[in-house]
């Protein structure tokens, strides 16, 4: 089955710790995206990548980092600089940039 997978489903972070969220797609999509979802606020764009080895900041990139070494993978690292990381994180992809986006099942990050 083609699709987008995110792991883990739940992730716990200790104070001062960096954590990495995984996003993998086997749809052969060029573009990938990371969003953060908070209750009552919709989704906000963290980072996006139009092609391998290239990515751009979205609206709320501070405290996050990404890499795009492979077409199918776009991991997101939540660094210790992100002071309020508790949220639901969604990864998406599209055939090419500006086309319809398809979403993964999400990872819920909680701070201990």
Partner 1 sequence: AQSVTQLDSHVSVSEGTPVLLRCNYSSSYSPSLFWYVQHPNKGLQLLLKYTSAATLVKGINGFEAEFKKSETSFHLTKPSAHMSDAAEYFCVVRLIMNYGGSQGNLIFGKGTKLSVKP
Residue 41 interacts with partner 1 (CB under 8 A)?
A: yes
Determine the length of the chain.
Answer: 112
Whether 35 contacts 47, CB under 8 Å: no
The single residue among 1, 40, 54, 69 that binds partner 1, judged by CB under 8 A, is 40
Residue 45 interacts with partner 1 (CB under 8 A)?
A: yes
CB of 103 to partner 1, least distance (A): 4
CA–CA dist 60, 30 (Å, integer): 22
Question: Judged by CB under 8 A, how many residues of this single chain contact partner 1?
Answer: 25
Place of tokens 């052969």: 28
Structure tokens at 11: 């992730």
CB of 79 to partner 1, least distance (A): 22
Residue 90 interacts with partner 1 (CB under 8 A)?
A: yes
Residue 48 interacts with partner 1 (CB under 8 A)?
A: yes
Q: Taking the CB of residue 27, how many other CB atoms lie within 10 A of it?
A: 15
User: In DSSP terms, which residues pair with 103 in a beta bridge?
Assistant: 92
Residue ranges binding partner 1 (CB under 8 A)? 4, 6, 40-45, 48, 56, 58-59, 88, 90, 92, 97-98, 100-106, 108
């Amino acid at each position: 089955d083609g699709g987008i997978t995110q792991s883990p489903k739940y992730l716990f972070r200790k104070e001062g710790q960096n954590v990495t969220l995984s996003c993998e797609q086997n749809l052969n999509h060029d573009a990938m995206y990371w969003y953060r979802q908070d209750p009552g606020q919709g989704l906000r764009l963290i980072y996006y990548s139009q092609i391998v080895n290239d990515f751009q900041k979205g609206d709320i990139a501070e405290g996050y980092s990404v890499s795009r070494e492979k077409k199918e993978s776009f991991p997101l690292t939540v660094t210790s600089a992100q002071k309020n990381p508790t949220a639901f994180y969604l990864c998406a992809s599209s055939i090419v940039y500006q086309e319809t986006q398809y979403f993964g099942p999400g990872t819920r990050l909680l701070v201990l």
